[in-house]
Amino acid sequence: MGINHIKLEEVESTQTWLKENVSKYLEDNLLVSTKIQNNGIGRLGNKWDQLGKSIAFSFSLEPLDTVTLTPLELGVHIVNFFKKVDVEIKLKWPNDLLVFSEGELKKVGGILCHFQDNKLLVGIGLNLDDKALPQNSGFKFEPGSIQTSLLNAGDFYHQVPKDIYEYILENRIPEEKLTELWNLNCAHINQKVKIADDSNSSEGLFVGIGSNGEAILNTNGKTKSLVSGSLWILD
């Protein structure tokens, strides 16, 4: 499968680079990866810091018919990709990538999606090594890393993004299988959670995702669907 792979030494944000340049390459499977990302963007207007040996890359993708399910499909792909190298990744709604380490769940990466020119522009950041992770970081979710042999590839900043993108392009998941697969790999299925944004906050049992990728909570026997926000796992 042909990929047009742009390899950068340093960029402010691969996601911004992709947004500004994708219209020149609309026919291509376009991937941009970088060794250094110095002004990364996270979800909901947050910053994304490059910690230790991490990869930062963005690519274009045909969305699923139900566009809002596509970001959740990407989470399942990351889980399946790292299963092949014996790393277990768990998913936190909507787009966080976690590992269970030293008795707690830690955030090892995140997925960001923008819809533009009928394409989904996907940005993924993943910490591969824990040498430079801050302790008691003050981040919303404690950062962790995927300890992986993939780091041994000399050019891993570019090689791992290419391997992941190829894997995604070759293994697209049909919509009808997606909710079940996502729920199977969810870190907080049937657990009490809080989902909040600037104006609303809801608590309840996380039942799973619905057919559009929305979070379904059960609160005192009543079902509620939420389409956006940040999720906290409550004890």
Where on the chain is the footprint of ligand BTN (CB under 6 A)? 13-15, 40-43, 46, 48, 56-58, 96, 110-112, 123-125
Q: Which is nearer to ligand BTN, 114 or 224 (CB)?
A: 114
Nearest CA-CA partner of 22 in 62, 55, 54: 62
Q: Which is nearer to ligand BTN, 7 or 205 (CB)?
A: 7
Residue 40 Cβ vs ligand BTN, minimum distance, rounded to whole Å: 4
Of 23, 34, 188, give the one whose Cα is nearest residue 107. Answer: 188
CB of 182 to ligand BTN, least distance (A): 16
Query: Given the complex with ligand BTN, which of 8 and 205 has the nearer CB atom?
Result: 8
Q: Which residue has the tokens 């079902």?
A: 223
Round to whole Å and give the CA distance between 36 and 213: 32
> Nearer Cβ to ligand BTN, position 121 or 209?
121
Q: How far apart are CA 85 and CA 117, in angstroms?
A: 35
The distance of closest approach from Cβ of residue 126 to ligand BTN in the complex, given in angstroms and rounded to an integer, is: 8
Q: Which is nearer to ligand BTN, 15 or 68 (CB)?
A: 15
Q: How many helices (H) and strands (E) does the chain have?
A: 4, 14
Residue whose CB is less far from ligand BTN, 87 or 111: 111
Minimal distance, residue 180 CB to ligand BTN, in Å: 24
**All residues at 6 or more sequence positions from 44 whose CB lies less than 8 Å from its CB, including other chains:** 197, 230
Q: Which residues on adjacent β-strands are paired with residue 225?
A: 216
What's the CA gap between 32 and 20, in Å, rounded? 12
Q: Min. distance of Cβ 186 from ligand BTN in angstroms?
A: 16
Distance from C-alpha of 154 to C-alpha of 229, rounded to nearest angstrom: 38
Select the residue whose beta carbon is closest to ligand BTN and give its number: 110
Residue 48 beta carbon to ligand BTN: minimum distance, rounded to whole angstroms: 4
